[in-house]
Amino acid sequence: MKITSVDDSNLFDFSDNDFSIFGTEIIVTSTNGGENWRTGSTHDIIWTDNISAKVKIELFKGGAFQFTITASTFSDGQYPWDIPGNTQPGNDYKVKITSVADSNVFDFSNSNFTIFANEIIVTKPNGGENWQTGSSHDITWTDNISAKVKIELYKGGNFQSIITDSTYSDGQFPWDIPSDTPLGNDYKIKISSVDDSNVFDFSDNDFSIFGTEIIVTKPNGGENWRTGSTHDITWTDNISAKVKIELYKGGAFQSTITASTFSDGQYPWDIPGNTPLGNDYKVKITSVEDNTVFDYSDTAFTIFSSMILVTKPNGGENWQTGSSHDIKWTDNISEKVKIELFKGESFHSTIKASTFSDGQYPWDIPNDLTPGNDYKIKISSVDDSNVFDFSDADFTIFPTELTVTKPNGGEIWQTGASHDINWTDNISAKVKIELYKGEVFHSIIKSSTFSDGQYPWNIPQDVPPGNDFKIKITSVDDSSVFDFSDADFIILNTTDVEYLSNFLPTVYTLYQNYPNPFNPSTKIEFGLPEESGVSLKIYNITGQEVKVILDNNRLPAGRFRYDFDASRLPSGVYLYMLIARSNVSEKSLIQTKKMILLK
């Protein structure tokens, strides 16, 4: 430092020695280059600084920002980083630490460090396996190491035993499971490098080690079984010996259900009517040959007497959606009851959450209820869910139905004519009748008419001819109740020709009349590949028009026939001409054929 007199520049002085000016700084010390950190592990990021502000720590890969490790932490020189398991492996990582208060104060790792993934992967057992004591199984894994590996057994997350402290990293080790291994479903295998204990892997999920066993599955707690009813006692086992089944109440032996039965996993139990009631029952199943192999129900189940009896529907009834029926029952309770609907033994819906236990409830069956013959009613006490009853057998809910019977496919109807549209139904609501052509809505025939199964339809003259018509009939009250004609019917706008079939010719065709020569009548046939305007006329040999059969009439695709009566004409040669022009494309035909009348 120099200090000088303003009046006399010869008067001045310097500091005797140098002094320092320093800036605010952060210095990353770890990770600072060359470290190898594994995904899923925890490492301390370390730095020095002379600031009091908090710092932000970021991860960079290949010089590009990767993600923020922490947006703000105390500038105390250390931060424990749990490296995410999904961090991309690489050897080009750096850490950047920045002052939160001044982004100009920061530091990067001096050199790159490496993040690497697990190099050992356990493949078996890897979760869900069931291995029995005394058996032998291969432990398998994959790795990318050359060092030997150690294999350990863990139970419930705790070290259990060393299976082998060193074996070649060849991906397979045969394990003879000791007979005295504790049973459990919470086992995992750990395989680690002998040279580097940081390189290891566990089974992804637990596997089971089981011994000779019996497991009661039903009743296993919470069941409500009624005296006088029959229920299957079920269990699983891995034994071949027969089993004994006993009943316990309040932890004390009550009775032997069967002294010996096959170990096939199921026994039908007719619960005696005089069995004492209680909610503290358990079943015990024991191997006949080894009484140390047994199991109890996990928790208590209940044996109760009937206090509610469903009487209607109780099996065999047929109830229609949209109708109303009384659900009936008898009971000996004073509290309210809940009424539920079950389908296929599974809960479907609540009919009434609470109603008086007066033995009757009027049920309006919803229109959208799925039809089925496997319904039951359950009625239970609101105060005690253990007091309930089901319908003894299934009853049926059937849908509101409507079926078109005419026209239902193949009919040939003429514009201007009247035909009855017929149907069957089990509804009282009115119906709407519509006409469809080529699966597309065409027009409303009647917006509302009585559901009496018949409606007389005067077919309008302006309905286009076609062979692809259907009728749709729909309930006015419920549009989900409807039916279409099963197949197409035909509408023609002329009675002069007969529609032979809906066989579709591929080309326009005028066939030779038959018989020919004829007296006094003959048949003229022609084929149309598409809906067309058609003229069919007869001329004498001089070209004079003697008969107009069709004059640009619209006809659908198909084959047609005209019966020509020439009883009023003299013998001679006559010509018949067909002119057909498609209404849907550019196709057309003009063709003339000769016929001979001989009297």
CA distances from 185 to 127, 362, 509, 564 (A): 10, 52, 81, 92
What pLDDT, on a 0 to 100 scale, did the predictor assign at position 592?
96
Please state, in angstroms and rounded to a whole number, the distance separating the CA atoms of residues 241 and 285: 12
Q: What's the confidence (pLDDT) of residue 76?
A: 94
Classified by CATH at the fold level, domain 498-597 comes out as: Immunoglobulin-like (2.60.40)
Domain boundaries, the chain: 26-116, 122-210, 214-304, 308-396, 402-492, 498-597
pLDDT > 90? residue 136: no
pLDDT tens digits for range 279-293: 999 999 998 987 878
Q: What is the pLDDT of residues 292-335, one digit of tens each?
A: 789 999 999 999 876 789 999 999 999 988 788 999 999 877 78
In which element (H, E) is residue 384 found?
none
Calculate what percentage of the chain has a pLDDT beyond 70: 97
Contact 489, 553 (CB under 8 A): no
Residue 331 has a CB neighbour count (10 Å cut-off) of 19
Judged against a pLDDT cut of 80, whether residue 133 lies above it is answered with no
Complete DSSP assignment for 582-593: ESSSS-EEEEEE
Query: Which DSSP helix (H) or strand (E) runs through 487?
Result: none
- Does residue 526 have a pLDDT over 90? yes
Give pLDDT, residue 239.
80
Q: What is the pLDDT of residue 556?
A: 84
pLDDT score of 558: 87
User: Would you give the end-to-end CA distance of the chain in angstroms?
Assistant: 148
Is the predicted pLDDT of residue 518 greater than 60, yes or no?
yes
Regarding beta strands 214-218 and 230-237, do their DSSP bridges make them parallel or antiparallel, or are they unpaired?
antiparallel
Tokens of 273: 């009517």
pLDDT of residue 21: 66
What's the pTM?
0.38
Please determine whether the domains at 214-304 and 498-597 fall in the same fold group of CATH: yes
Question: Which pLDDT tens digit goes with each residue over 355-405?
Answer: 999 999 999 999 889 999 999 999 998 987 878 999 999 999 988 889 999
Q: Which of 515, 514, 510 is nearest to 550 (CA)?
A: 510
Cis peptide before 520 (omega within 30 of 0): yes
Residue 492 has pLDDT above 60, yes or no: yes
Token digits of residue 67 = 């993600």
The pLDDT value recorded for residue 411 is 81
Q: Is the pLDDT at 528 greater than 70, yes or no?
A: yes
| Cα–Cα distance for residue pair 181/175, rounded to 1 Å | 12
Q: What is the per-residue pLDDT for 377?
A: 97
Question: Is pLDDT at 538 greater than 80 in this prediction?
Answer: yes
> pLDDT at position 244, please?
97
Measure the CA–CA gap between 579 and 550, rounded to whole angstroms: 9
Share of the chain above pLDDT 90, in %: 66
- Per-residue pLDDT averaged across 436-449, rounded? 95
Please give the distance of CA 436 from its chain centroid, rounded to a whole number: 34
Per-residue pLDDT of 59-114, as tens digits, reads 999 999 999 999 999 999 999 999 987 889 999 999 999 999 999 999 999 999 99
Distance CA 311, CA 300 (A): 30
Convert the pLDDT of each residue in 501-515 to its tens digit: 657 789 999 999 999
* Confidence label for 127 from pLDDT (cuts 50, 70 and 90): very high
Q: What superfamily does domain 214-304 belong to in CATH?
A: Macroglobulin (MG2) domain (2.60.40.1930)
Where does the pLDDT of residue 547 fall: very low under 50, low under 70, confident under 90, or very high at 90 and above?
very high
Q: Is the distance from CB of 95 to CB of 59 less than 8 angstroms?
A: yes
The alpha-helical segments, DSSP class H, found in 280-324 are none
User: Has residue 342 got a pLDDT over 80?
Assistant: yes
Instruction: Check if the beta carbon of residue 402 is closer than 8 Å to that of residue 483.
Output: yes
The mean pLDDT of 10-35, rounded to a whole number, is 86
Six-digit token pair at 252?
């004390």
pLDDT digit string (tens) for 142-187? 987 777 999 999 999 999 999 999 999 999 999 998 878 898 999 9
Q: What's the CA dihedral at 300, 301, 305, 310 to 10 degrees? A: 150
Domain 402-492 = CATH 3.40.605.10: no
pLDDT at 537 over 60: yes
What pLDDT was estimated at residue 247?
97
> What does the pLDDT average to over 575-586?
91
Residue 528's Cβ-count burial label (10 Å; 0-12, 13-18, 19+) is buried
Average pLDDT value for the chain: 91
Residue 300 φ/ψ, nearest 5 degrees: -75, 150
On whether the CB atoms of residues 297 and 275 are closer than 8 A, the answer is no
State which CATH number among 1.10.3720.10, 2.60.40.10, 1.20.1090.10, 3.30.413.10 fits the domain covering 308-396.
Answer: 2.60.40.10
The pLDDT assigned to 12 comes to: 86
Q: Which pLDDT value is given to residue 435?
A: 96
What was the pLDDT predicted at 98?
Answer: 95
Strand-strand pairing, 36-38 and 113-116 = parallel
User: In this predicted structure, what is the pLDDT of residue 510?
Assistant: 96
Q: What digits encode the pLDDT tens for the residues 250-279?
A: 999 999 999 999 999 999 999 887 889 899
pLDDT at 559 over 80: yes
> What pLDDT is recorded for position 502?
57
User: Closest Cα to residue 401, out of 432, 423, 434?
Assistant: 423
CA nearest to 431, candidates 459, 455, 399, 407: 455
Give the torsion sign (CA, 326, 329, 335, 341).
Answer: negative
Q: What is the pLDDT of residue 541?
A: 94
Pairwise CA distance, residues 475 & 60, whole Å: 69
What are the E-state strand segments in 198-345?
Answer: 200-202, 207-210, 214-218, 224-226, 230-237, 243-249, 252-261, 266-270, 278-287, 294-296, 301-304, 308-312, 318-320, 324-331, 337-343
Concatenate the DSSP letters of all residues of 101-143 into one string.
S-TTSEEE-SS-EEEE--SEEEEES-SS-EEETT-EEEEEEEE
**Would you state the CATH architecture of domain 122-210?**
Sandwich (2.60)
Residue 9's φ and ψ, nearest 5 degrees, are -65, -10
Give the mean pLDDT of 114-133: 89
What is the C-alpha separation between 313 and 343, in angstroms, rounded?
13
**CB of 271 within 8 A of CB of 226?**
yes
Pairwise pLDDT comparison (268 vs 491), residue with the higher score? 268
* CATH no. for 26-116: 2.60.40.1930
